[in-house]
Amino acid sequence: MRKILVIDDDPLTRHILEDILVPGDYTVGVAGDGEEGLKKLKTGGYDLVITDVLMPGMDGFRLLREIRKDDVLKYIPVIFYTGTYLDREDEALARGLGVSRYLIKPLTPGELVKAVQEVLRDEEEKKPPSPAPAAMEEPAFLKLYNERLVNKLKTTLVDSERARIYLEHVMESMGDGMVVIDRDHTVVQANSAAAASLGVEKQEMTGRKCYEVIHREEAPCRSQHVICPMPAVFDRGETVKVLHTHGDTAKNERYMEITASPLKDRSGETFAMVETYRDIMEKKVDDALVNLVKKLNDAQTHLKYMADTDELTGLKNRRSIMERLEEEFQRAKRSHRPLSLIMLDIDHFKGINDAHGHLFGDFVLKMIALRIKDSLRKHDILGRVGGEEFLIVAPDSGAEESVHVAERVRRSISTKPIGDKTAEVSTTLSAGVTVMTAQDATADAIFSRADAALYKAKDEGRNRVALL
């Protein structure tokens, strides 16, 4: 079976090429950039390289140069598969370095497989790359490479400026206010209508924190009267509507209906939020319509909170955390990123209820939920899935990281008693950890394995972490 190395900084492209090639009885390895690809090549065994050209770090040209300079690797055929370097001069440089094929994205699966078959057939017939490996001297390579790089940077800058102007034109043409906000609460872009509604200049908004310029606050919104749409947009990828009160520099307040939507990259990851403002009317106009809109908004917000939240602990309830698990599972499959689950269960909790009553038991549950939450990282997602069971969804986390998190949670419970004025108890919890694998067809599969890992920890004596 022939072995092919696919090198591309885009996870989606790597996944697509892998799906195309594997059914053709090829073994496929992947790498995210030229440096990683070169390291994998040096481990041996690859018959063909398919690589993107424009990548961070070592790009395709430099990778090909290194391959042709290496006495062991220099006869491995290399296919360039690019959607960026489209000029004839780019192709001439690649062929001068000894590229086997120069393919332009996109290709049909059949066209790609045909090119692979032809290149491998040429290699079997002992047709070496033409011209001979390392024929281009270093000064000549650097001169041509730098010329192509500078040309590409100029083109990219022009395209980026055009895109920026186009986006600005679209935003300015909107009658409503529009603001783009990133994960760190920074205003990336705003239009004149949004600035006017706040009584500031458009240039004053960009680069500032949204809570500073919109709500005149020094920290992210935490008030129960201000419903921040960021968790719904960034955590769940939802489009939501909220009602906010905005004030201008003259302290005039108006009701704003805000529609907040996610901006996602090609892998489905939300990288920014678009807020559209619709001015309902001045807050001082105290008529039935304003009150009705506010009551409806408050009711919707409260219903959404109740539907997603465990009433006792304030954590996500079972339905909500399982929805997040499904979202993270699908995202991990798309992006080929790791995903781990940690299932937690309080040891001998029934004995606490029996000895001290259910009110004290509820107090213990709330305190344990707080300690678990305080032990987690920013991107970990926590929910209560049963009576004394909790689930942590840990995106971008492998086995070692997740076991470390589980141990930190376990120690936070076991090292300090929990008590109020009526009683005090020492308790422990057990944790089961598992990592998503390529064989997991559904989120339920990884959830069941986390549950089995938890029972393993219980069977081994409790107050411990088990990995499965």
Distance of alpha carbon 10 from alpha carbon 27, whole angstroms: 20
Q: What is the chain's Cα-based Rg?
A: 28
| pLDDT surpassing 60 at residue 426 | yes
Distance of alpha carbon 346 from alpha carbon 158, whole angstroms: 59
Q: How many CB atoms lie within 10 A of CB 311?
A: 8
Locate the domains of the chain by residue range. 3-152, 174-304, 318-467
Domain 174-304 belongs to what topology? Beta-Lactamase (3.30.450)
Say if residues 297 and 243 touch (Cβ distance below 8 Å): yes
Q: How confident is the model at residue 162 (pLDDT cuts 50, 70, 90)?
A: low
Distance of alpha carbon 58 from alpha carbon 64, whole angstroms: 10
- Greater model confidence, 6 or 270: 6
pLDDT in tens, 371-382: 999 999 888 999
Residue type for position 251? K
What CATH homologous superfamily does 318-467 map to?
Reverse transcriptase/Diguanylate cyclase domain (3.30.70.270)
Helix (H) or strand (E) holding 112: helix 109-124
Q: What does each C-alpha distance from 306 to 151, 299, 301, 384 come to in angstroms?
A: 56, 10, 9, 14
Q: What does each C-alpha distance from 197 to 6, 250, 255, 441 come to in angstroms?
A: 50, 11, 11, 49
| pLDDT surpassing 70 at residue 243 | yes
| pLDDT surpassing 70 at residue 136 | no
Residues annotated as catalytic are 388
Strands 418-419, 389-395: pairing is unpaired
Q: How confident is the model at residue 6 (pLDDT cuts 50, 70, 90)?
A: very high
In this prediction, residues 105-115 reach a mean pLDDT of: 85
CATH code given to domain 3-152: 3.40.50.2300
pLDDT in tens, 447-466: 999 999 999 999 999 999 99
Give the burial string for 341-380 (b: 16+ CB within 10 Å, else e): bbbbbbbebeebbeebeeebbebbbebbbebbbebbeeeb
| pLDDT surpassing 50 at residue 34 | yes
Best-predicted range by mean pLDDT (86-100, 134-148, 174-188, 345-359):
345-359
pLDDT in tens, 282-309: 444 445 655 666 666 666 666 666 778 8
Contacts 24+ apart (CB under 8 A), 183-187: 183/234, 183/271, 183/272, 185/209, 185/210, 185/211, 185/220, 185/230, 186/210, 187/213
3-class secondary structure, 383: strand
Distance of alpha carbon 35 from alpha carbon 52, whole angstroms: 13
**Cα–Cα nearest to 77, from 91, 97, 93:** 97
- Greater model confidence, 22 or 361: 361
Distance of alpha carbon 62 from alpha carbon 10, whole angstroms: 18
What is the residue-averaged pLDDT of the chain?
A: 82
pLDDT in tens, 332-349: 887 788 999 999 999 999
